[in-house]
Structure 1
Amino acid sequence: MTPADFKAVSLLMETYFEGLHQADSALLRRVFHPRLSYVCATHGDELCLDLETYMERVDSREPPAKRGDPREEHVLEIAFPGGRLAHVTAHMSMMGRAFLDVLTLVDDGSGWRIVTKVFTYVPLED
């Protein structure tokens, strides 16, 4: 891991959070690998989607920004277990839920991309 790698992954995460907040699939496509695996690990809501199916869901939702949801996100960990492999754990709140995301990234030669998004969520308490 180099300082440039850490900066690149940090910038990627800013784009990731903004893309989710705006429900902007074009922005999210910049951070996701074309072969993304999207996995919900919440008990009773388990699912596994590919990139295109996930982007259809993003395109059909009302953007949290438009709903007036505040941006609440935190990167909890960025790790580089291998030269072309990174791991990010992040927390965010939107759409009435608190999410915990575990992301696996690879440097595919054109930059860092998220290849797996595994997450769980709980409803936010009022």
Structure 2
Amino acid sequence: MYKNKIKEIEKVISNYFEGIFYGDVDKLESCFADNVFIYGDIKGAAYKKSIRQYLEGVKERQSPNDLNETFRMEIIGVDIIGNVAMIKLRVPMLGYNYFDYLSLTKMNDNWKIVNKIFTHVA
């Protein structure tokens, strides 16, 4: 059962990475539950956006792929208990070295991101 959960969560994270890297907003949106807010900091500046604002930003910017960046995103840690999970990611892109913490829960037989916090580490 645990291996199935890992595979299902890895699929969500793969879609998350691909959505960010290729600017595929539909794929990225499929990873999130409705009404999610994203919190973090970029070079010390506070960041808070709704999922709609976040997706609009991804849609409007050049993707890392368009900028010929190398895909280097990776899962650093996975913690699953029952139908909740905490995932730690390294997401280097667009000149930043992001670390994301994603909270997921299983909703209607699908894993969805219900919270995202992140920071940039130089």
Q: What TM-score results when the alignment is normalised by the length of structure 1?
A: 0.90
The equivalent residue for 1:9 is 9
Note if contact 2:43-2:120 (Cα within 8 Å) is conserved in structure 1: no
* Structure 1 unpaired stretches of 5+: none
Q: Give the distance between the partners of 2:87 and 2:11, measured in 1 at CA.
A: 12
Secondary structure at the counterpart of residue 35 of structure 1? coil
Runs of 4+ in 1 over 6 A off after TM superposition: none
Q: Give the distance between the partners of 1:66 and 1:41, measured in 2 at CA.
A: 24
The equivalent residue for 2:36 is 36
Please identify, of 42-51 and 65-74, the stretch whose mean Cα deviation from structure 2 is larger: 42-51
Give the residue type in structure 1 aligned to 2:104.
Answer: L
Q: Matched residue pairs, number? A: 122
Q: Give the distance between the partners of 1:11 and 1:84, measured in 2 at CA.
A: 16
Give the residue type in structure 2 aligned to 1:12.
Answer: V
Q: Give the distance between the partners of 1:87 and 1:122, measured in 2 at CA.
A: 20
CA RMSD across the alignment: 1.4
Compute the displacement of 1:43 (Å).
Answer: 5.4
Q: Give the distance between the partners of 1:24 and 1:87, measured in 2 at CA.
A: 23
1:67 matches 2:67: yes
Q: What TM-score results when the alignment is normalised by the length of structure 2?
A: 0.93
1:99 matches 2:92: no
Compute the displacement of 1:2 (Å).
Answer: 2.1
The equivalent residue for 2:26 is 26
Compute the displacement of 1:87 (Å).
Answer: 0.5
**% of aligned pairs identical?**
24
